[in-house]
Amino acid sequence: MHSPEGLAERLRGVGMTSQRTRNRMAERLAKQGIADPRVLETLAREPRHLFLDEALAHRAYEDTSLPIGHGQTLSQPWIVARMTELVLRETPRRVLEIGTGSGYQTLILARLIPELWSVERINALHHRAAARLRLLEVRNVHLRLSDGGHGWQDAAPFDVILLTACAGELPEPLLAQLDEEGVMILPLADAKGAQWLTRVRRRGEAFEVQRLEKVRFVPLLQGVIR
């Protein structure tokens, strides 16, 4: 685990090379269909390499998912951009993220929406993400170690709930924590195990489910690992 001091050093070390690499990543994402300029600007600005172990940091801006320990992965830039775009489309004020992981998707969202809640079930990841976000002076995020399957009842309802791990079925407790017009964005597995980025729109007591594109995420799991 990195000390915050180590992170601070790496943050100071962010040089021109990283900025050029980030700009190239944003240009690539635009070519791949990411259209929202706020998303492209934020990904071009924020230091993705700080959300990886030092040994992997040089690969941070490649178009690939990367391991963050404990069998988990930081999603490829395209999927972070795509999900952020889908979230922003709702102009949300309150967003709940399930699966803080490295904290990178959390950071990107925090820069673009007023208030964010994010839960992680693995203690080590939760703490590491918290240290990174503190260092980057992110103040509009509430983090908690818990099983996201239960959502965050005290802070509900949410305009958007985003899952960054793949569910086998629509998580009922989370649907109940959506605002009357709220939206859930999640990877959802079909009967054959294929994963689909899915948007669920609440209309009062009814839910409209819309399948978007095929994706690959780690599974949503139960319980907390301390």
The answer to whether 221 and 165 are in contact (CB under 8 A) is yes
Would you tell me which residues interact with ligand SAH (CB under 6 A)? 68, 72-75, 98-99, 101-102, 104-105, 119-122, 125, 147-149, 164-165, 218, 220-222
CB of 117 to ligand SAH, least distance (A): 12
Cis ω for the linkage preceding 157 (within 30 of 0): yes
From CA 220, how far away is CA 56, in angstroms rounded? 24
Between residues 18 and 100, which has the closer beta carbon with respect to ligand SAH?
A: 100
Nearest approach in angstroms of CB 59 to ligand SAH is 14
Task: Give 62 or 147: the residue with its C-beta nearer to ligand SAH.
Answer: 147
Q: Which is nearer to ligand SAH, 153 or 208 (CB)?
A: 153
User: Minimum Å distance from CB 106 to ligand SAH?
Assistant: 7
**What are the backbone angles phi and psi of residue 58, rounded to the nearest 5°?**
-70, -15
Closest-approach residue to ligand SAH (CB): 101
Compute the least distance from the CB of residue 205 to ligand SAH, in Å: 25
The two tokens of residue 182 are: 């709220």
| 71 phi/psi in degrees, rounded to 5 | 75, 10
Q: Tokens standing for 99?
A: 């699966």
Report how far residue 37's alpha carbon sits from residue 85's, in angstroms, rounded to the nearest whole number: 9
Q: Which is nearer to ligand SAH, 40 or 79 (CB)?
A: 79
Q: Clarify whether 75 is annotated catalytic.
A: yes
* DSSP characters over 72-133: EEEPPHHHHHHHHHHHHTT--SEEEEE--TTSHHHHHHHTTSSEEEEEESBHHHHHHHHHHH
Q: How far is the CB of 63 from ligand SAH (least distance, A)?
A: 15
Minimum CB distance to ligand SAH smaller for 18 or for 73: 73
Q: Of residues 3, 18, 65, 75, which has the active-site annotation?
A: 75
Rg of the chain over Cα atoms, rounded to whole angstroms, equals: 17
Catalytic sites, residue numbers: 75
